[in-house]
Amino acid sequence: DTGVSQDPRHKITKRGQNVTFRCDPISEHNRLYWYRQTLGQGPEFLTYFQNEAQLEKSRLLSDRFSAERPKGSFSTLEIQRTEQGDSAMYLCASSSERSYTIYFGEGSWLTVV
Amino acid sequence: DQQVKQNSPSLSVQEGRISILNCDYTNSMFDYFLWYKKYPAEGPTFLISISSIKDKNEDGRFTVFLNKSAKHLSLHIVPSQPGDSAVYFCAASPPMNRDDKIIFGKGTRLHILP
């Protein structure tokens, strides 16, 4: 399967701990996106990369959040000092530069207790 | 400010009948529109899309209609099947030459009744 892959699928953490999610995009895609989804909401944009360059960050991405894509391939999203409000599904998606369509991974569920 | 609006949180349709999901947008700069389907605990799956230069796109049981003057699009599913029960997200994209992101609506939960 060569779709978008996310790891871990589920993470339960105590408030105040740090968590990191990894995303492996579709191999020929140079754009990579992070979205967040909470109950009753659609996916909300967090940030996106074209190759290794981070081109846009949402206001939702507080300074506790950091995303990297060091070699233009996989990406990590780290949340420091987690809060209960960070509980959500974190979605990664990728696309080709020449396509409007973005393809999502299966998501990483975060529960902060 | 919600740029993409799905005003019906849920919709119930009899199996075999037509399901019509609606979406409104406010930004006339949007260039491309997409529909995604989502099952619980899974990521959204791309379903069908339409360019702003068209008013209809059809793919099997799924048809998307775009009314640019009304800033409205709709997804028709006919005939509806039990596996169509899911949350459907409408999404809109700015022109490709702009470094901007796809905006999603809040979704409509479709229940297909036996």
Tell me the per-residue pLDDT of A69-84, one tens digit each, with 9 for 90 and over.
998 899 999 999 999 9
| Mean pLDDT of the A84-111 span | 94
What distances in angstroms separate CA A11 from CA A88, A107, A109, one per listed residue?
10, 11, 6
Whole-number pLDDT of residue A59: 85
| More confident position, B103 or A2 | B103
Q: Indicate whether A92 pLDDT > 60.
A: yes
Inter-chain touch B43–A4, beta carbons under 8 Å: yes
The verdict on A96 touching B (C-beta cutoff 8 Å) is no
State how beta strands A108-112 and B86-93 pair.
Answer: unpaired
Whether the Cβ atoms of residue A46 and residue A68 lie closer than 8 Å to each other = no
Q: How would residue A1 be classed by pLDDT, with cut points 50, 70 and 90?
A: low
Cβ contacts of B4 on chain A, cutoff 8 Å: 42
Secondary structure letter of residue A85 according to DSSP: G
Whether the Cβ atoms of residue A57 and residue A7 lie closer than 8 Å to each other = no
B38: CB partners within 8 A, 6+ apart: B44, B45, B86, B87, B88, B89, B107
**3-state class percentages of chain B: helix first, strand second, coil last, to nearest 5:** 5, 55, 45
Backbone dihedral region for residue B27 (phi beyond 0: left; psi -120 to 50: alpha; all else: beta):
beta
Whole-number pLDDT of residue B38: 96
Each residue's pLDDT tens digit, A17-62 = 999 999 999 998 999 999 999 988 999 999 999 999 998 888 888 8
At A92, is the secondary structure helix, strand, or coil? strand
d(CA A39, CA A25): 25
Length of chain B measured in residues: 114
Question: Residue A54 burial by CB count (10 A; 0-12/13-18/19+): exposed, middle or buried?
Answer: middle
Each residue's pLDDT tens digit, B12-61 = 999 999 999 999 999 998 999 999 999 998 999 999 999 999 999 999 99
Each residue's pLDDT tens digit, B52-102 = 999 999 999 999 999 999 999 999 999 999 999 999 999 999 887 666 789
Whole-number pLDDT of residue B98: 67
Inter-chain touch A91–B46, beta carbons under 8 Å: no
